[in-house]
Amino acid sequence: MSNKMKVEKNMEDLADDLLVKEAKRGDREAFTELVCRYQRKVYNTIFQFTRNHHDADDLAQETFMKAFESLKEFKQKSSFYTWLYRIAVNMSLNFLKKRNKEKGKKEFVENDSPSKMNEFSATAPENYSLKKELEKKLKEIIDSLPLIYKASFILVVFQGMSHGQAAQVLKCSEGTVSWRMHKARKILQNRLKPYF
């Protein structure tokens, strides 16, 4: 086995905290390994905020660039994963705030009336159509959530984080995340009532 293959295999076997230490010493391969481990998760998290592949690509790259530039300041009091997600979420929230300012506040507009939904019968093609319409409406409602609720909702529901993990990423208490999740679910329930 060549030295390069040994180094690559060793990098894959190292824990995040050891890779971070090596990366802080200037080992770019160690940081590259960290990027490989988390690029898909970071991209998916950002995409849940932006709903745009191009924006998610750009923000994911910016997230890793910022992480690389700030690595020496990372005190390792939390895991690398939590620290990196905090950067990704903050970049996503800043991006959305800027986009909302540029476009003006988007208000949630309900286009479909409950009576339209009742017109659907139990036939398979119409059920499929109804399911697609519900999925679309759910995405619209999630996108329209206030950013503080949306951030918690995305991390817990789509990224599978516990309330405690999401609290670390968002730099707030676990109780705050639980409260935000409660409020987000209430908003979703109210706006989806016409469909059930």
Predicted confidence at residue 2, as pLDDT, reads 39
Q: 1-105 belongs to which CATH class?
A: mainly alpha
The tokens of 102 are what?
């540029």
First to last CA, the chain: 61
CA distance 3 to 29: 14
Fill in the DSSP letter of residue 81. Answer: H
Predicted confidence at residue 141, as pLDDT, reads 87
Domain ranges of the chain: 1-105, 107-196
**What is the rounded (10 degree) CA torsion for 191, 54, 20, 155?**
10
Fold of the 107-196 domain? Arc Repressor Mutant, subunit A (1.10.10)
Total length of the chain: 196
Q: Per residue of the chain (196 residues), what is the pLDDT tens digit?
A: 434 434 444 667 788 999 999 999 999 999 999 999 999 999 999 999 999 999 999 999 999 999 999 999 999 888 999 999 999 999 999 999 888 777 764 443 334 434 434 444 444 566 667 677 778 888 888 888 999 899 999 999 988 899 999 999 999 999 999 999 999 999 988 888 876 6
